[in-house]
Amino acid sequence: MARTEAYFSVDIEADGPIPGPYSMLSFGIAACGTFDGATFEPSDPSKRTFYAELKPISDDFVPEALAVSGLDREKLAAEGRRPEEAMHAASGWIERTAGDATPVLVAYPLAFDWMWLYWYWIRFTSSSPFGHSRHLDIKSLYAAKANAMVVRSTKRQMPAALLPDRPHTHNALDDAVEQAELFQNLVRWDG
C-alpha cells in the first residue's frame, strides 16, 4: 500500500536567473494538504509555514531580479541565515511536518523554484527532503485538467474561481501560501 503524500507549496526569491553565480535570497514553504491515493485533505496553508532569508553566496546579481523581491542584499549579508543552516532547518521542518507521509513539493512555475531549492539542498546539505523528483508543477496540473496549451495556462487565463483571494506580493512566504490555495483549488476542480 502506498504511503500518504504531504504537499508543500514553495516559492523563492533570487537575485539572478540561475543558482551558483547568483543567490537565492529567501524562500517560503507552506504545508497545504495530504493525499492518500483516494482523498485529498487540504489544510490551511497559513498555519504551518517555514520562511528564511539567506546570506548571498556571491557578489554578482542582476539589479532587475533583485528589485522584484524588494530585499536588501547588504542587510542580508549581515543578518541573513547561512545557507547551510537554513537548508538543514527547512529539511528538518519538512520532515517533522510531513510525519509519516512522503513530502511532495508543489510550485508555480515548478522549474524555477525547484532549480534553486534543489541546487541549494544538494550544495549545502547533500540531500533534498523531496528526493530528486517528488514535485508537481501547478501550471502543468492546470493545463492537463483544463485541456489547455501550456502557453495558455497562466494565472490570467485561469477561471477566476480557481484563483486565491491573496495578492502575489513577491514575498516568498506570502506567495507560497497563495500558490498553496491555487493548488488546493485545482486539485478539487473537475476541469
Contacts of 157-166 spanning 24+ positions with Cβ under 8 A: 161/185, 162/186, 162/189
Bridge partner list, 31: 8
Tell me which H or E stretch contains 121: helix 110-125
Q: Catalytic: 170? A: yes
> What residue ranges in the chain does DSSP mark as E strands?
5-14, 24-35, 40-42, 49-53, 102-107, 135-137
Task: Please pick, among 88, 132, 168, 170, the residue that the annotation labels catalytic.
Answer: 170
Alpha carbons within 13 angstroms on the beta-carbon side of residue 120 total 32
Average pLDDT over residues 66-80: 96
When pLDDT is averaged across residues 161-167 and rounded to a whole number, the result is 92
Convert the pLDDT of each residue in 89-141 to its tens digit: 999 999 999 999 999 999 999 999 999 999 999 999 999 999 999 999 999 99
